[in-house]
Amino acid sequence: MKRHRPVFLKMNGVILVLLLLVILLYSYFSRTSFHAIDTQMTNYNESQLTFLKYQIESNIERLALASSILVRDSSLLDLQISMLTKDYYRMLDYRTHVKEKLYLQSLSSNWSNQLAVYLPTVQTRVSTDLSDNYDPRVLDKAPNGTWTFQPGASPGTAYYQLFMWDPYLSKADSASDPDSVNAVFEVRFGLDNIRKMLQHYKLDSPGSSFLLTSGGRAFSNAEASDGAFETFGAELLKEGLGDGGHRNVSFQGQRLFLSYTYLSDLDAYLIDYVPTEVFYAPIVKSRDLFYASMAVLVVLGLAAAYLLYSNVLKPVTMMMKGLKHVEMGDYSYRINKRFHNEFDYMMQRFNDMGSKIQHLIQNVYEEQNRSRLATLKQLQSQINPHFLYNCLSFIAGCAKVGLTDKIKEMAYHLGGYYRYMTRVENQLPPLKEEVELVTHYLEIYTYRLERIGYEIDIPSDLLKEPVMRLVLQPVVENAIVHGIEPTPGTGTIRIAGCREADWIELHVEDSGGGMSQFAMDRLMQRLEQPMDGSTGCGLWNVHQRLRQRFGPGAGVFLQPSERLSGLRVTLRWRSEQEESEEKGERAG
């Protein structure tokens, strides 16, 4: 092994160099990519959030200016005078003018809002909503010139509220001198305005944004998500938020890049966050370059390891291939390649092992075939052994009464019947011999039962077809025993044959009582299962022998007879005439 040491040293040196290059490249690409991501996220989010803050503050300022415009309106003073002088006609007229101006100011804003004016001296309230009820308690609690958050009577009705006193400093002196207050202007806008702006803000942007009040209430673009954002907001308020900035935070197991800014008018924070994984796009390009570099390094590593591959990995691969062939049952596979090293001995031993296994399997397979053939011959010899006893009893009865002609005919047919039964040297006789056996059998039965007629209609070309021994007689016997004998009157057996492509079919019909479809289905199921006490030996034996030799599609099939009143049993097997002829030519 000492002679291989320089090769391994060189390979280890190459691997160390490759690893060093990989580490340096990966460190450089990672540092560059993350720096680019941080810069991009910071600049983009801050610019977008600043723009959204500007839009919100502009709408708030526009609503606040509406009260300043109404201060200079003379209709308010005229309304107060008409109410003090109880000039009801002018009061209605001025009240209508004031409400119209409130509506004009309300509609001039992009946000949905409500405007109202309180006149303390006459205890009157005029507003753009449907209620003009004057409640002095509202003014007692109202701060001057400051937006306050009101949670609303039900979910989804939260709003911000602003009160402006005329004159501005009259709020401080109203307790000692109520007449110093000319009017109080109220401005309201619902949180749905901010929700809509958040929806447009995050329409094509990843992540989420929401408004977080200093009291911990959160409002996002979807009201159903407010609860989760309030939990997130509580954590942020606990950590502390300044006037604006950005930071990396974790929430519910997810890394987030968070940007925020303070809205002084609403005493709330505008917060936007994006999962950091969304901004991994710039790193993909660097990663692709990294993979390309890795591919080059792998090629260099493969070139350096070629010696190891050709002397170790390739022989092992050939051995694995041979083992897979053996695993799939291909015991004839041999490894013919030589590598001129220690693996040649292993491959030679593998080939020897494959030869021995193949020889053993062939011996076992042939032994199984011989055992199966012996089993089939045993089954054939066991078909209807009581038939002989019945025939001998019939002959004895005829002898007693002197019916010598019947004894002669019975002996002729019985001899022909058992001559064929005892010949087991040819397991594939022509169909003609099977038909002759059945003819002997039917003639015997006509003597015994004396009320059976039969028809045989098989084309002459089919009579030359080779067929398994004793496949037709058990079916005919079954038709007589279970079809004709239980039915009173004369019975008929009809045997017909036909060819369907490469398949041969024999149809045995009887004029018995037949079977229901349910009974036929159950019988077909029992023919496919192992024999038990409830399964007839004859049909089961024929079906299993045909299925075993000719495979799926062959066997016994049942259906009602179309010409007679009973059952139609079909024997189906694949033609073997051409195969038999080829074997005969080779033998000759």
Asked whether residue 394 falls in the same domain as residue 335, the answer is no
- How big is the CA angle at 285 (ends 279 and 290), to the nearest 5 degrees? 120
pLDDT value of position 176? 41
pLDDT value of position 415? 85
pLDDT value of position 168? 55
| Residue that has been written with the tokens 């003090």 in this structure | 84
Q: Is the pTM of this model over 0.85?
A: no
In degrees and rounded to multiples of 5, residue 172 shows phi and psi of -70, -30
- Burial state string for 503-518 with b = 16 or more CB within 10 A and e = fewer than 16: ebebbbbbbbebbeee
Non-local CB neighbours of 326 within 8 Å, separated by 6+ positions: 333, 354, 357
Residue 53 in tokens: 């803050």
- Give 537: exposed, middle or buried? Use CB within 10 Å, 0-12, 13-18, 19+: middle
- Residue ending a domain, among 376, 406, 432, is 376
Domain assignment present for residue 298? The answer is no
Helical spans, DSSP H, in 382-515: 386-401, 404-421, 431-449, 473-479
Task: Output 338-342 pairs: Cβ under 8 A, ≥24 positions apart.
Answer: 339/310, 339/311, 339/314, 339/315, 341/311, 341/315
Asked whether residue 249 falls in the same domain as residue 389, the answer is no
Domain assignment present for residue 35? The answer is no
Which residues lie across from 188 on neighbouring strands?
114, 161
Asked whether residue 355 falls in the same domain as residue 411, the answer is no
Domain assignment present for residue 297? The answer is no
pLDDT value of position 505? 92
- Residue ending a domain, among 291, 321, 342, is 291
| Residue that has been written with the tokens 């064929």 in this structure | 420
Phi-psi region of 491 (alpha: psi -120 to 50; beta: other; left: phi over 0): beta
Residue 147 in tokens: 């937006």
Q: What share of the chain is helix, strand, coil (3-state, %, to 5)?
A: 55, 20, 25
Helical spans, DSSP H, in 472-516: 473-479
Domain assignment present for residue 104? The answer is yes
Phi-psi region of 558 (alpha: psi -120 to 50; beta: other; left: phi over 0): beta
Which residues lie across from 144 on neighbouring strands?
163
- Residue ending a domain, among 291, 313, 338, is 291
Domain assignment present for residue 6? The answer is no
Residue 228 in tokens: 């989760």
Asked whether residue 344 falls in the same domain as residue 410, the answer is no
User: What is the rounded distance in angstroms from the CA atom of residue 377 to the CA atom of residue 382?
Assistant: 9
Write out the DSSP string of 47-63: HHHHHHHHHHHHHHHHH
User: Looking at residue 131, which CATH number applies to its domain?
Assistant: 3.30.450.20
Asked whether residue 477 falls in the same domain as residue 453, the answer is yes
Asked whether residue 327 falls in the same domain as residue 389, the answer is no
- Give 184: exposed, middle or buried? Use CB within 10 Å, 0-12, 13-18, 19+: buried
Domain ranges, residue 274: 40-291
According to DSSP, residue 480 is labeled I
User: What is the rounded distance in angstroms from the CA atom of residue 231 to the CA atom of residue 289?
Assistant: 42
User: What is the rounded distance in angstroms from the CA atom of residue 150 to the CA atom of residue 161?
Assistant: 7
Asked whether residue 365 falls in the same domain as residue 410, the answer is no
Which residues lie across from 269 on neighbouring strands?
212, 262
pLDDT value of position 232? 86
pLDDT value of position 71? 65
User: Looking at residue 572, which CATH number applies to its domain?
Assistant: 3.30.565.10
Domain assignment present for residue 429? The answer is yes
Cis peptide bond upstream of 120, omega within 30: no
pLDDT value of position 296? 80
pLDDT value of position 504? 92
Asked whether residue 266 falls in the same domain as residue 386, the answer is no
Which residues lie across from 251 on neighbouring strands?
254
Asked whether residue 425 falls in the same domain as residue 535, the answer is yes
Q: What is the mean pLDDT of the chain?
A: 79
pLDDT value of position 3? 45
pLDDT value of position 510? 92
pLDDT value of position 423? 73
CA distances from 349 to 158, 346, 442, 488 (A): 88, 5, 64, 75
Domain assignment present for residue 22? The answer is no
Asked whether residue 455 falls in the same domain as residue 342, the answer is no
Domain assignment present for residue 19? The answer is no
Asked whether residue 282 falls in the same domain as residue 329, the answer is no
pLDDT value of position 456? 92
Residues found in the chain: 588
In total, how many domains does the chain have? 3
Asked whether residue 244 falls in the same domain as residue 107, the answer is yes
Residue 520 in tokens: 């036929």
Q: How does pLDDT run across 188-223, given as a tens digit for each residue?
A: 888 888 888 888 887 777 778 888 888 888 888 877
Segments of the chain scoring below 50 in pLDDT? 1-5, 8, 172-178, 371, 374, 378, 382, 582, 586-588
